[in-house]
Amino acid sequence: MKKYLVPIISSLVLIVLFVVGLLFNNGIKYQNQLRLIKEVFPEAESFELISDPGYEFQQLDDENRVYEAYKVLKAKKEIGYVYYVTAKGRNADLKVAVGFNSSPKKITGLKVLEHNETPSYFAKIQPSFFNQFVGKAFDVNLFKVNKANGATDSSHGFERAITVARLQYAHDAKWEIPAPVEVVSSKQDLDTLNLIYEFKFADETYLVTLDQEYSFVSSDKEIEDDAVVELFESFAASNPMTDIIKSVETTGSQTIIVITAKG
């Protein structure tokens, strides 16, 4: 009987050791992950991995997307999210972790996980560039990033990373991103072929002229911020013009303006 018990007991011991080892390793992995999450979300006490196989990952395109997502907990209650994002800077595969606090809605931190940027180029980014994100509100109409001098492409990469992470937060938290621009009207002048958009932005109305490629031509108000110009261009491109304008000169000096709906 003993000769049968020995291998059975040995097998049970091996199974117990395997399970204990597995739990120990998983515990180490969890603590390592928690330490990383706390670097971008200091108030985190625990977390839950929410990016399971059925999870809806948000993306701008294949190079700018969320690839891992965590719900952050304090006293076992959700207080925000941390997202791992890959973005296109000067090169592809700029990977960062971004923390989003739910109330108030602010960024808790940003950490570079790995990157493929040119070392001498990336070294131009000063700590002040990363510090601008800590405590920055993300429930705003226009989310702006101050570019790093000499590293504009990498700066754009971080901006894209936060943009797609904010999209993911909006999806997970059932939160609606404030629309930065409202298109009031849009027309095409058939004489010049330019597009004329009336935008409502930051409680002001702008009459903006764009070319056929949706590139900025002019505005009735001075626009000093390039980010606002880019915003108008992108909103125009995603909201094609609805009317056409044709100026018709009569035999006299009078000019008749005919506005015809595009459809």
Q: What is the CA radius of gyration of the chain?
A: 27
The CA–CA distances, whole Å, from 188 to 227, 248, 249, 250 equal 24, 15, 18, 21
pLDDT higher than 60, residue 134: yes
Can you give the pLDDT at residue 98?
98
pLDDT higher than 50, residue 24: no
Residue 88 confidence class, pLDDT cut points 50, 70, 90: very high
When pLDDT is averaged across residues 237-254 and rounded to a whole number, the result is 64
When pLDDT is averaged across residues 28-46 and rounded to a whole number, the result is 95
For residue 119, the surrounding DSSP H or E stretch is helix 119-122
Contact by Cβ (8 Å): 187, 244: yes
Least confident of 23-32, 49-58, 61-70: 23-32
pLDDT higher than 70, residue 253: no
Contact by Cβ (8 Å): 160, 88: yes
